[in-house]
A and B are shown apart, each in its own frame.
Chain A
């Protein structure tokens, strides 16, 4: 090795900006960037929710003429579900937990003044924001937004002539995804380096809060998965615009040869799901970490099996890269391959179950405080179980032949990926809002919001499993015209009404958020009596997080109800730990 010596760490600190634009717009401060990501996701989630409402309306009243929008045509329905899925998966579930809360709290929880690469951090936000603008612009171009689903399967996605919205709209979709990949890669790299390099003295890896572990592992998944999606996106763009045929075999549209030949749609499926499966864990891992944190804080008990939690997350991340084939059982893969993917997939159930039992073990005999973040954390566990239990069914190739491409899958992933990680986001908002904005959120509204959302989402997504078993196909708009599904129309109507109520409940959240920013009760520095570092600093934290020094850490993150201690929690920075052995 070279003989020169490096200071083990670069200078990560930057001076507080003075101009308005550098402070709030092009800020290098991870806290501002975190809030920017949060509001990006908040915008996105309301756009995505609006699209889903239109879908639900169309499903039960296909001929209804809506104000301004008119009648929703079948192809418009496909557009709606494509944009709904894409916006929700990328710009909400990937953006809010990691980019938003991860950005804000990872550095603080490990005791760092900022991310390892503040400039990169800012760029990753703005690239993501640009990606969102490009995605939305697809609605406004000739032909409208694409209709190939969030999974973008070719040949549909690769042929501009394949349908309305597949021309310029689909190009914008691919470009937006590629930009999103770049942003996600930059951010992943930053998260990993920060976790490796910028932990305060005493913050060993095994003293990190599980939230930090979750963000760290999520970042590793992102680093490895988004690079592959980027490649797939580039190839798709080439197919669409350069006349290549990576994904397109010899196909005709309306009897006309397309000029493509020799490609394979399966290649896209492999590349996409190699990204896609890790992506579902990118969406859920931060929520898992947060939930572990909250269950411990609000049960006033140490987390049950800290190490098991860490290893479970690591093995989920590792196995997550080996199961992508379970999305392709119907693609004609060899039964032996399907068997291998099936076994691997069910193996993921093991660490998932370990986590679930540890959560239950954590609240077992705890002195539970039913605050709003805790309610959402408990809701998360419930949804994770209900949504996860259908996974092992889908993982059977034989069953999947019936269930693939039906509402059963839609029910599965909405409960577990959609709603469970949204519950994680809500829990995080209620939990950290006091630290971020200096005031408490209104608890009464939060409770209403919780019960409406929990009951509402179950009412929407549970029936989907029955629809799926009755062979109701997903991504199909004219269900009222299918004889064999007539008996299920009342159920569909029920789901739509439930959607109305649930969506109305979300405006309560929105109102609470902005109302509490102005009128909420002033928050103390540690309103939840939690132990981690963000609660040791001022509210909201100063520019360098700890006001000119880097904290020193003495304890693990879950020292609750330690016998003999003066209070029922011991801060991580508390030097005098009194542990009765």
Chain B
């Protein structure tokens, strides 16, 4: 399918855009608005549960907090590299743009890896949902076992909120990958999927989480088939908006979910 593109002088046939910018960017802002309500509803559910539960537990050890702090650092760094990618794209420096995008993706993957590892550890210690497969070795008599039993809302909101956020980061990495490498990213995605799926034991969150990548690969293939285009600096900027938003959401989740449930409290 070929795209008949309007030459750039053509826009004068329209009324000036209300926000003086291009449609894709407005579209992304609108998506972020609705996504913030989606997250807002989840945060509301979390606060609702927390307020209505007497003796909300605060079980996170310093280890978890340190881990989450490193994750935060990864995300903050990724925002920086994303800014650099956008700058490189406006300067028309395709190579630097690609490198910074890949760096951003690397930070994002670092975040997801640390986060998934944290999940496995918590699940092994007994903070779990009934649906998660039991890791071998039985439960240690940790405080988390007790928390899961007495305040099931704790695990539910923790996994619900961070899971939804992790999904957003993962899809963000895929999104950046498509912008940076276009269809060449699809095979890479499939390799990641297979590696995560086959390379991890059945009880690992990565094992069942990996299928998100397969789903993403399918959806991306359809979209690329419908719209086989070369991404330009505007696409990098729009992808950046999404990425920064996902970072911003973490800046709510980190204090609300981790810090406010730290052991010292």
Question: B-contacting residues of A (Cβ < 8 Å)?
Answer: 2-4, 6-15, 17, 22, 28, 112, 116-117, 119-120, 122, 185, 188-190, 192-193, 196-205, 223-224, 226-228, 230-232, 234-235, 238, 241-246, 259-264, 267, 270-271, 274, 549-550
| B-chain residues with CB within 8 Å of residue A231 when the two chains form the complex | 37-39, 41-42, 45
**Residue in B1, B5, B41 whose beta carbon sits within 8 Å of that of A227 in the complex:** B41
Whether B31 lies near A189 (C-beta < 8 A) is: yes
Give the shortest distance, in Å, between B36 (CB) and chain A (any CB): 8
Could you jot down 18 A-B contacts, CB within 8 Å? A6-B21, A10-B22, A13-B5, A190-B27, A193-B27, A197-B26, A200-B15, A201-B13, A227-B35, A235-B160, A238-B156, A238-B160, A241-B131, A243-B129, A243-B130, A244-B156, A245-B153, A262-B151
Q: A15-B3, A119-B223, A119-B226 are in contact. Are A198 and B14 (CB under 8 A)?
A: yes
Whether A246 lies near B49 (C-beta < 8 A) is: yes
| A-chain residues with CB within 8 Å of residue B3 when the two chains form the complex | 11, 14-15
Whether A12 lies near B41 (C-beta < 8 A) is: no
Give the shortest distance, in Å, between A421 (CB) and chain B (any CB): 23
Give the shortest distance, in Å, between A198 (CB) and chain B (any CB): 6
Whether A196 lies near B53 (C-beta < 8 A) is: no
| B-chain residues with CB within 8 Å of residue A204 when the two chains form the complex | 15
Give the shortest distance, in Å, between B75 (CB) and chain A (any CB): 22
Whether A263 lies near B49 (C-beta < 8 A) is: yes
Whether B37 lies near A119 (C-beta < 8 A) is: no
| B-chain residues with CB within 8 Å of residue A267 when the two chains form the complex | 45, 48-49
| B-chain residues with CB within 8 Å of residue A190 when the two chains form the complex | 27
| B40 close to A (CB within 8 Å) | yes
| B-chain residues with CB within 8 Å of residue A242 when the two chains form the complex | 129-131, 156
| B187 close to A (CB within 8 Å) | no
Q: A9-B11, A224-B34, A241-B131 are in contact. Are A196 and B18 (CB under 8 A)?
A: yes
Q: A188-B34, A196-B17, A238-B156 are in contact. Are A201 and B12 (CB under 8 A)?
A: yes
Bound-complex Cα distance A357 to B22 (A): 39
Give the shortest distance, in Å, between B203 (CB) and chain A (any CB): 15
Question: A-contacting residues of B (Cβ < 8 Å)?
Answer: 1-6, 8, 10-24, 26-27, 30-31, 33-42, 44-45, 48-49, 52-53, 90, 129-131, 151-153, 155-157, 159-160, 164, 223, 226-227, 233-234
**Residue in A13, A223, A549 whose beta carbon sits within 8 Å of that of B34 in the complex:** A223
Bound-complex Cα distance A14 to B156 (A): 46
Whether B53 lies near A4 (C-beta < 8 A) is: no
Bound-complex Cα distance A291 to B95 (A): 56
Bound-complex Cα distance A10 to B233 (A): 13
| A-chain residues with CB within 8 Å of residue B152 when the two chains form the complex | 243-245, 260-262
| A-chain residues with CB within 8 Å of residue B1 when the two chains form the complex | 14-15, 17, 22
Bound-complex Cα distance A170 to B90 (A): 49
Whether B14 lies near A200 (C-beta < 8 A) is: yes
Give the shortest distance, in Å, between A226 (CB) and chain B (any CB): 7
Bound-complex Cα distance A259 to B36 (A): 32
Taking A3-B90, A196-B17, A224-B37 as known contacts, 19 extra A-B pairs with beta carbons closer than 8 A to each other, sorted by chain A number, are A7-B22, A8-B17, A8-B21, A9-B11, A11-B3, A11-B4, A15-B1, A116-B27, A119-B223, A196-B18, A202-B15, A228-B38, A231-B39, A238-B156, A244-B129, A244-B156, A246-B45, A262-B153, A550-B14
Bound-complex Cα distance A201 to B11 (A): 10
Q: A15-B2, A228-B38 are in contact. Are A10 and B24 (CB under 8 A)?
A: yes
Q: A2-B90, A116-B27 are in contact. Are A8 and B11 (CB under 8 A)?
A: yes
Give the shortest distance, in Å, between B37 (CB) and chain A (any CB): 4
- List 7 tightest A-B contacts by C-beta distance, closest first: A243-B130, A231-B41, A244-B156, A227-B34, A227-B37, A550-B13, A11-B5
Q: A196-B17, A204-B15, A244-B160 are in contact. Are A262 and B23 (CB under 8 A)?
A: no
**Residue in B14, B37, B41 whose beta carbon sits within 8 Å of that of A8 in the complex:** B14
Q: A196-B17, A263-B49 are in contact. Are A6 and B234 (CB under 8 A)?
A: yes
Whether B156 lies near A228 (C-beta < 8 A) is: no
Bound-complex Cα distance A89 to B52 (A): 32
Whether A197 lies near B23 (C-beta < 8 A) is: yes
**Residue in B33, B130, B164 whose beta carbon sits within 8 Å of that of A259 in the complex:** B130
| B-chain residues with CB within 8 Å of residue A112 when the two chains form the complex | 14
| B-chain residues with CB within 8 Å of residue A15 when the two chains form the complex | 1-4
Whether B27 lies near A117 (C-beta < 8 A) is: yes
| B-chain residues with CB within 8 Å of residue A264 when the two chains form the complex | 48-49, 52
Whether B90 lies near A4 (C-beta < 8 A) is: yes
Bound-complex Cα distance A31 to B2 (A): 20
Give the shortest distance, in Å, between A497 (CB) and chain B (any CB): 44
| B-chain residues with CB within 8 Å of residue A232 when the two chains form the complex | 41
Whether A223 lies near B11 (C-beta < 8 A) is: no
Bound-complex Cα distance A4 to B22 (A): 13
